Amino acid sequence: MSDRTDLLIVGAGPAGMAAAVTARRHGLSVRVVDDQPAPGGQIWRGIETVAATPRAKRLGESYLAGAERAAAFRACGADYESASQLWQIEPGFRAFVTRGGKARAVTAQAIILATGAQERPMPFPGWTLPGVLTVGAAQILLKTADSVPEQPVWIAGCGPLPLLYMTQLLAAGGRIAGFLDTTPRGRLGPALRHLPRGLGRLGDLMKGLSWSLALRRAGIPIIRHVTELRAEGEGRLQRLRYRTEAGQEAEVPAEVLLVHEGVVPNIHAPLALGCAVSWHAGQHCYVPVLDAWGETSQANIFVAGDGAGIGGAEAAEPRGRLAALRIAAKLGRLDDATAETAAAPERSALSSALALRPLLDAFYAPRPQLYAPPDETLVCRCEEVTAGELRARAVEGRPGPNQLKAFTRAGMGPCQGRQCGYTMAHIVAAAQGRSVEEVGFYRIRPPLKPVTLGELASLDEQEPAA
């Protein structure tokens, strides 16, 4: 296998797979690296093995749809490297990848970052206790390990994913202790203003409503407008305390608490590459600045999929194909007019897929308390830095997030700030009376994914410089 390729795609989820298939169709050599052991991304995780099992049905049709995508991807002729960690990309491009204990550099003319999204970090006291997981994590356990919480489970947060997971969990025979809905009061009105644009997606809305109805029919206790959460226990989650907007407080026994407050794009790779990002006020997160094809401010680096802004799998695929078309044109395999023609249906598919998004974004916008946790909350899980420490330091001379990182070690651990970056930005902003957008994010440094010194040392010494 040559270590030179026309196109390097990072991520084998919906966007990465669609991009690979399209790029191959136009004759590009394509390399796809992904840290998962099999294609599918998070939405179709484990699809190749799960599709043939009885539990596949329970997971729903949109999950099953991944099977044919994975098959098409496998057949497209791209060099696919699963279980590969990409830890750095240098201009040129040289991408450094580790697989099976060996590091090596891949040279590519264009790059598509299809690294998807992560769940929005949700700091509260006790969120580091064993027994507290994200809803996404529980859904992955259901998909790939057919595992459910042993005891009736508490679920807290908002967004479509908790509803979907609870429906899937009930279908699998799991039990739910209650749903702590963190959606603030009064969200429906502003959200409905976006309804006209979303009318074409009524089916999706109905699906969401049917999930809610199913939960109500199953008699799941739903506590609305929860503003505060606290997980407690000796060495593991044992109790859960919550408080609602109306001041209702309760303490309940709990073994597993699943949390979810929406998803945000993975921006570490674009940030490390110096791609411009901007604040997306609707989705309360940073998104890469992209042109209509998904090209970033750095020529020949593209972002597709949820990494380009949250849109779900249905938006990810056209985004992946658009990026691949543009790269095929840039590399001379396609003339611009043909690329434009091929892009038209993709753009309309993308626009349709995104039609409901503003309504969802408005309805499920993070509650104001989310990033203002009590002082004792660990903001940085890795280095164990509390909100109180960050607040105290944020007022001394009004430093930025990188200075605070240097002074407190918040963001210096193995997760590289993936779990504390947004909280840090909000705490600094609140303490200094600035906007989150102005405060900015951490400077992202390699490695983007873990790599050992031995793996680094194994890089070929004779490797020519780019």
Partner 1 sequence: MRPDIVVIGGGTVGAAIAYGLACKRQKVLLLDGDDGDFRAARANFGLVWLQGKGLGMPAYQALTRDSIALWRGFTEQLEAETALDLAYEQNGGLAFCLGEQAFEKRRLDLLRLHNQRGDDEPDWEMLDRSALERLLPKVTLGPDVAGASFGRRDGHANPLRLLAALHAGVLHHGGALRHRARVQRIERSGTDFKLVLDGETLTAPRIVIAAGLGSPELARQVGLDVPLRPERGQVLVTERLEPFLPLPASGLRQTSEGTVMIGATKDHSGFDVSTTGEAAARLSRKTVQIMPALAKVGLVRQWAGLRILTPDSYPIYAQSQSHPGAFVALCHSGVTLAAFHAEDLAAAIAAGALPERFSPFHQSRFDVPQAA
Partner 2 sequence: MFRKLHDPGPQAVTIFIDGRPVTAELGESVAAVLLRQQEGWSRTTPVSQSPRAPYCMMGVCFECLVEIDGQGSVQSCLTPVANGMHIARQQGRRSLSA
Q: Which residues bind partner 2 (CB under 8 A)?
A: 35-37, 42, 46, 49, 54-55, 83, 101, 118-119, 128-134, 136-138, 140-141, 144-150, 172-173, 235-237, 255-256, 266, 381-384, 413-415, 418-419, 449-450, 452
Query: By C-beta, is 182 or 419 nearer to partner 2?
Result: 419
Residue 363 interacting with partner 1 (CB under 8 A): no
Under rule CB under 8 A, residue 414 binds partner 1? yes
Cα–Cα distance measured from residue 279 to residue 440, given in angstroms and rounded to the nearest whole number: 9
**Alpha-carbon gap, residue 157 to 347, rounded angstroms:** 32
If one asks whether residue 433 binds partner 1 (CB under 8 A), the answer comes out as no
- Asked if 401 interacts with partner 1 (CB under 8 A), we say yes
- Is residue 61 part of the contact set for partner 1 (CB under 8 A)? no
Instruction: Find the radius of gyration of the CA atoms of the chain.
Output: 22
Stretch in the footprint of partner 1 (CB under 8 A) among 69-77, 124-132, 359-367, 406-414: 406-414
Q: Which residue has the tokens 């609140």?
A: 430
Taking the complex as a whole, the smallest distance from the CB of residue 277 to partner 2 amounts, in Å, to 18
Nearer to partner 1, 295 or 455 (CB): 455
Place of tokens 């390097």: 8
Minimum CB separation of residue 404 from partner 1 in Å reads: 9
Task: List beta partners, residue 107.
Answer: 4, 94
Residue 465 binds: one of partner 2, partner 1, none (C-beta under 5 to 8 A by kind): partner 1
Site string for partner 1, 369-398 (x = CB under 8 A): ------------------------x--xxx
The residue type of 33 is V
Tokens found for residue 242: 């919550």
The Cα–Cα gap between 381 and 144 comes to: 26
The answer to whether 40 and 59 have CB atoms below 8 angstroms apart is: no
Smallest separation, CB 457 to partner 1 (Å): 4
Residue 423 sits at the vertex; the CA angle it makes with 356 and 310, to the nearest 5 degrees, is 20
How far apart are alpha carbons 164 and 360 in whole angstroms?
Answer: 14
Choose the one of partner 1, partner 2, none that binds residue 443, judging by a C-beta under 5 to 8 angstroms depending on kind: partner 1
* Residue 396 binding target from partner 2, partner 1, none, CB below 5 to 8 Å by type: partner 1
Q: Which of 192, 276, 292, 406 binds partner 1 (CB under 8 A)?
A: 406
Alpha helices in 178-335 (DSSP H): 188-192, 195-198, 202-217, 268-272, 313-330
Nearest to 451 by CA among 67, 84, 68, 194: 84
Taking residue 91's Cβ as centre, other Cβ atoms within 10 Å add up to 12
Q: How far apart are the first and last CA of the chain?
A: 19
Residues at the interface with partner 1 (CB under 8 A): 88, 90-91, 94, 96, 103, 105, 274, 393, 396-403, 406-407, 409, 412-414, 416, 440, 443, 445-447, 450-454, 456-457, 459, 461, 463, 465
